[in-house]
Structure 1
């Protein structure tokens, strides 16, 4: 008796009705299609085609972008039947997700090529996976996989990780700069999160990446400064002194702040989590030093300024109102930054 012959096979049109018509060999066999018939149907001129090893498209003609994405994910999830179930679970780790340029296209990046124009669809998998790239499916292994984001039903790496995986493959400085700049300008993520991922991937030793990061940080700061300005004006806060250096009279330099209300002794600093300039004290020491002088330092994250400006304005307004209950701040010299 042929064990590959199904006892009650489903009609073949049932396999692609109402779903993405991309299935693995194992899935087809579960639907009752024997291997010999799969092979026959994927021959030149047949009704099906093999997109990737063990992954089949149930129609002829070019696959759509959705079909290519699902094929790459199915290939990355594919398990050989000879591997015991427990071993498969131990090996697999977190579920694969789309990353690199394909993920950026899913996130809506205009600087990323359209999905159909990509020769390679990168899939991020656990480092323990024994899997090689094949066809248009690229494989990127990672020790610590981020939580995937679902975009149109496709598990997708978050923007900072997708950017890092894309930049690792790119050598064109212009493309790298455009992608990094769009990440911040488009509100996808903060500059600091991108820099952390690039540092984790050890990409900050590449000159064209370093140049792009410098532009990214400048873009992120300029955007955050504009959002701080809009918050102050939009929520009716008093006008501060913008972008100033604080110094003790005849004494040492204290540091730079993005806004300073000298009458209230309240300063605002945009916290980008980047290294402070040479000569400035560490952030905690800086705050303590200002507090000893009677100056309240409010730190604003770019993300909060972007997503919750009213909440941030309330924090600043509370600090300004509390100034009436404090001793007047020490006199400091205020200079343009």
Structure 2
């Protein structure tokens, strides 16, 4: 093979596979001998084998995009990405981090393929055969499962309710999918692994927006205090909007909030949180707040504080605060808090 021919073929390879990932069959179809393909993947060669039959046309460490492309090539035509990787690409930011393996192996990439295709999971790729292959949503050239499907596929493989809460609630809060869509997806999928997502989704439907708030809700029940409402708008006597209360006890106009720093993504957001607390207090609400860590480390102390706060609220005249603006006749959603 002359140098001119080699250079031309290299240019063809680069233009045909811009991400530097190809199947061995694709390379053979391009004119390479199969033995040559795998010989180039030996130590010291210019290529490397990423997965069975999948070749990296480089020698360095693969990027995330190259790992994802390799996973899709392994799955074959119609394969699409689901699970946590798809959730991140859809814009969901909260939930568990995609952990790499102990030996530095890539983070798992979960792909869906038609049930008729015989491809097994290998390495970092989790292959799931399905009779319910959805229409893909393509983002930056990568075919993804729709948001609700990606969330439920990820949630079914998580064993910590807090992680599931963060994942599902973030998808809903960002307007990426609805509670109804998540519920429908849970009903349609296999029941395996859905116990935690089902329980979490019920809490999300009732207004819980984070793992900390889910813990708070459980503690409130343990405290055996009157029924509370979660994430509701509060207005003063003149109908002015004060803010969204994490936990609102209407009979005594009491507010309890979980001060999670995850919400303070900017100084402006932090200032808004402080101003909201001041507005509640100035309007006459009895206000208390708890750090998420304390919910875990001192639940009995939190319960004692809640009971004492409730008694203090009950002992004073209730101010004219409401969860609906004057004259509306119905609850008002109010502006969203940061």
TM-score by length of 1: 0.57
Contact kept? 1:181, 1:216, Cα under 8 Å: yes
Query: Matches of residues 27-38 of structure 1 in structure 2 within 5 Å?
Result: 27-38=26-37
Structure-2 change in CA distance of 1:148 and 1:41 (3 Å) = same
CA RMSD across the alignment? 3.2
Q: Provide the residue aligned with 1:16 in structure 2.
A: 14
1:235-274 equivalent positions in 2, closer than 5 A? 239-243=327-331
Q: How far 1:205 sits from its partner (Å)?
A: 7.6
| Cα distance between partner residues in 2 of 1:200 and 1:52 | 32
Structure 1 residue corresponding to 2:93, chosen from 96, 102, 110: 110
Relative distance call for 1:204 and 1:51 in structure 2 (3 A) is closer
Name 2:157's counterpart in structure 1. 169
TM-score of the pair, normalised by structure 2? 0.57
Distance of aligned partners of 1:204 and 1:178 in 2 relative to their CA distance in 1, 3 Å threshold: farther
User: Which secondary structure does the structure 2 equivalent of 1:130 belong to?
Assistant: coil
CA distance in 2 between partners of 1:212 and 1:55 (Å): 39
1:15-41 CA distances to partner (integer Å, 9 max, x unpaired)?
124711100011101111111111111
When Rg is computed on C-alpha atoms for both structures, the one with the higher figure is 1
Deviation at 1:113, TM superposition (A): 5.5
Structure 1 residues 66, 240: CA separation in 2 closer, same or farther (over 3 Å shift)?
same
| Alignment CA distance shift 1:216-1:156 (3 Å) | same
Q: How does 1:1-337 map to 2 (within 5 A)?
A: 10-17=8-15, 19-77=18-76, 95-112=78-95, 117=100, 119-203=107-191, 206-219=194-207, 239-243=327-331
- Contact 1:25–1:56 at 8 Å: present in 2 too? yes
The 1:238/1:113 distance shift into structure 2, 3 A limit, reads closer
Tell me by how many angstroms 1:112 deviates: 4.8
- In 2: Cα distance, 1:188 partner to 1:223 partner: 21
Question: 2: CA distance between counterparts of 1:15 and 1:67?
Answer: 15
Alignment deviations for residues 171-208 of structure 1 (CA, whole Å, 9 cap, x no partner): 11111111011110111111010011112224488543
Shift of residue 111, structure 1, vs aligned partner: 2.1
1:156–1:224 Cα change, 3 Å: farther
Secondary structure (helix, strand or coil) at the match of 1:189 reads coil
Whole-Å Cα distance in 2 between the matches of residues 200 and 173 of structure 1? 21
Name the structure 2 match of 1:322.
Answer: none
In the alignment, the residues of structure 2 paired with residue 102 and residue 200 of structure 1 have an alpha-carbon distance, to the nearest angstrom, of: 21
Contact 1:48 1:60 in 2 (8 A): yes
Deviation at residue 151 of structure 1 after TM alignment: 0.7
What CA distance in whole angstroms lies between the structure 2 residues aligned with 1:116 and 1:179? 15
Q: Distance in 1 between matches of 2:192 and 2:186?
A: 6
Structure 1 stretches lacking a partner, 5+ long: 1-7, 78-91, 230-236, 244-257, 260-305, 307-337
Aligned residues: 216
Q: In structure 2, the residue corresponding to 1:66 is in which secondary structure?
A: helix
User: Which structure 2 segments of 5+ residues have no match?
Assistant: 101-105, 210-228, 234-238, 240-324
Moved over 6 A (4+): 220-226
